[in-house]
């Protein structure tokens, strides 16, 4: 997971385009825009994170930094 990649996706893509990219990656198709990542798994992680962050920002009126912190906390909890 690379935070600069996630930030670029949040800043440059709409929620709808990110959901479409997620579906494309899950169907083993190329998304309509470039998603950086070493493999499809990392690309999917970046897209999923961007979707979570955009939803969190919208739902809670938070800034990117706070939404990113919430996402990384959830990742830490799921790993432990």
Quote helix, strand, coil % in the chain, to nearest 5.
75, 0, 25
Task: Note down pLDDT in tens along the chain; length 80 residues.
Answer: 999 999 999 999 999 999 999 999 999 999 999 999 999 999 999 999 999 999 999 999 999 999 999 999 999 998 88
Q: Are 71 and 49 in contact (CB under 8 A)?
A: yes
| Per-domain residue ranges of the chain | 3-78
d(CA 39, CA 23): 16
């Amino acid at each position: 997971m690379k935070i600069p990649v996630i930030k670029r996706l949040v800043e440059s893509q709409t929620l709808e385009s990110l959901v479409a990219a997620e579906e494309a990656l899950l169907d083993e198709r190329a998304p309509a825009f470039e998603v950086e990542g070493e493999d499809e798994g990392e690309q999917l992680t970046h897209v999923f994170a961007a979707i979570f962050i955009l939803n969190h920002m919208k739902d809670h009126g938070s800034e990117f930094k706070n939404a990113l912190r919430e996402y990384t906390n959830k990742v830490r909890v799921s790993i432990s």
